[in-house]
Structure 1
Amino acid sequence: MYIQNKIDAALQRCNIRICNYISNVRAKSYCEIVDMLSEGKISPELLIVKVHKRTINKCGRETILAALEGVVNKTDCRILKQLKEELDMLRRHKVECLVMLRDICMENFKEQILDIQTIPGIGEQGAMQIIAETGVDIKALMPAAMLVGWAGLKPRNDESNGKFKSRSTTHGNKYLRKILIECAWGASRTQRCFFNKFSYHQTMVRKKNIQKVQVAIARKILVVIWNILEKGVVYSDVLEKDKTKDN
């Protein structure tokens, strides 16, 4: 993201403001415009071809052309090319690291990786990243509350005279917390599972902030992961158990 921001800053210096009308700097249209500029193609009429028609219809062709009209010289093109090559290199390194991580996990922790993937919202990459942060010897982090606190997902108990001053989470492993919150978003969107029902009830019925609800779901997912690694079992959804009892 740092390199992408540097690329956008380079475009801003050239008075190219297309980022104001494209959703984000990782969008396909934006990346193709950067590719053309790095190759020395600076004509707005050529660049606008890469902008999605929906964006042109929404903002107007003249507005998009004005956003692509900049002062770009050979030095700017060279800088964009170098930044793009650096970004491509980082992406290539990321893929290589993920492949290496997968090989290590499948060789040593295959059973745990597959068990964690039974939790809604967690795929192979998420499971590998979680194992990379926590390890599989979960007894070193007993009990589960200690693991939750280590991840920085435990609510702060800042109370004085019966009044709560803060409910923000504690400091912890920011990498593990980020992974779990991403998984929480996926779990809350997985239909017919406990996390989806919990998210709906908290946000729609109790009117709680959706960001705080995702933190709560991430905390619950981490407790489930602790039980999976500690007991060597797979995830069993509460809703599925209720259906079995009804039948």
Structure 2
Amino acid sequence: MEGQLPVMLINAKQARNMPGRKTDVNDATWLAQLAAHNLLIGSFIPPEPIRQLRDLTRNRSSLVHDRTKVYQRMEKFLESSGNKISAVVSSLTGVSARNMLDAPVDGHLDPQLLANMAQGRLRQKIPDLIDALEGRFTTRHEFMMRLFLKQADGLDVMIRELDEQIEDAMTPFCEAASSISTIQGLSDTSTEVVIAEIGVDMSVLPDAAHLAPWAGVCPGPNESAGRSQSSHTRGGNSYLKAALSTAALNATRQKNTFLAARFRRLYPCRGGSRALVAIEHTILAAIWRMLSYGEVYRELGPDYYQTRNQSMA
């Protein structure tokens, strides 16, 4: 029916009827009365191309989470054999770690042989690897590890296929993607998620202050008798929030950038969690302005606050 009749998505919490003798007919009558008096606020419904892109990115996120769970189960199962490879390598998804996991499945159990499969800087930890790879690897462990690796490989194939589909779906939005990807901390994957969740048309939102609570990167209002009470960050779009969190973490780890300087400035008085949410809010506000006015990201530099304070003195 979309395209033939005006469709409006309403938040049920904002349009609920008074409790009591409620029926479906009474609920429909109540909604009709609210609509007749223009008291209903429609939720954000992105256009069809954005919704198609959103389906792809959300399914990719689910598959990535599933793959992470597989490696976590694999790590727990390896510990039952006395294998502590995860205590030495940073990730089981790396090339060196994968070679050390494939070899025992093929019958190679010598810790010295497995440790010599390390590549790059991991070769500096060969003595630790030898100790970590000591264990009792039985036929049961071999069977289960083969299943885990097969499952992880299958998920890798599905994720790569989704990446190809997402790349094709992002073609109409490549200009917007190349623009906002200049923000420190935003990777290509995070950029794709941001566009899939908020779209590229910011005319549906009057300003960035309306986008922030929808994304869940600002505290909810909690004021009584003229006094503002403590309030936690409200729930928002979980997929967008996750992408912004990853981008904010990446931005704070960089040097000589405005976002990293802002995080270090807020951390002592607000704490790490609140400072990180502030960085997410800053990134989202920058994205809104860039998509609304076609602006480019301008790096303010790590000495922005120092220069501003001197000019105001």
TM-score with structure 2 setting the length: 0.65
Separation of aligned partners in 1, 2:257 and 2:177: 20
Of residues 150, 160, 164, the one that matches 1:85 is 150
Structure 1 residues 189 and 9: CA distance shift in structure 2, 3 A = closer
Identify unmatched segments of 5+ residues in structure 2: 1-67
Structure 1 residues 156 and 185: CA distance shift in structure 2, 3 A = same
Q: Which AA in structure 2 matches 1:47?
A: L
Structure 1 residues 157 and 118: CA distance shift in structure 2, 3 A = same
Residue 115 in 1 paired to residue 179 in 2?
Answer: yes
1:102 aligned residue: 167
Asked whether the 8 Å contact 1:16–1:68 carries over to 2, the reply is yes
Separation of aligned partners in 2, 1:21 and 1:104: 40
Asked whether the 8 Å contact 2:116–2:126 carries over to 1, the reply is no
Alpha-carbon shift at residue 45 of structure 1 (Å): 3.3
Root-mean-square deviation over aligned CA pairs: 2.9
Identify unmatched segments of 5+ residues in structure 1: none
Alpha-carbon shift at residue 113 of structure 1 (Å): 1.1
Q: Which AA in structure 1 matches 2:297?
A: Y
Percent identity over paired residues: 27
Alpha-carbon shift at residue 83 of structure 1 (Å): 1.3
Of residues 292, 295, 298, the one that matches 1:233 is 295
Note the alpha carbon deviations across 1:72-121, whole angstroms, 9 max, x for none. 22332122122112212212222221222122212x11221122123222
Asked whether the 8 Å contact 1:39–1:81 carries over to 2, the reply is no
Separation of aligned partners in 1, 2:299 and 2:287: 13
Aligned to 1:40, the other structure's residue is in SS state coil
| 1:108-187 map, 5 Å | 108-158=172-222, 162=227, 164-166=229-231, 168-187=232-251
Separation of aligned partners in 1, 2:253 and 2:91: 23
Separation of aligned partners in 1, 2:124 and 2:283: 39
Of residues 182, 201, 210, the one that matches 2:272 is 210
Structure 1 residues 41 and 141: CA distance shift in structure 2, 3 A = farther
1:17 aligned residue: 84
Structure 1 residues 157 and 25: CA distance shift in structure 2, 3 A = farther
Aligned to 1:109, the other structure's residue is in SS state helix
Residue 43 in 1 paired to residue 110 in 2?
Answer: yes
Q: How many residues align?
A: 234
Q: Which AA in structure 2 matches 1:219?
A: H
Alpha-carbon shift at residue 212 of structure 1 (Å): 2.6
Aligned to 1:50, the other structure's residue is in SS state coil
Rg (Cα) greater in structure? 2
Residue 224 in 1 paired to residue 291 in 2?
Answer: no
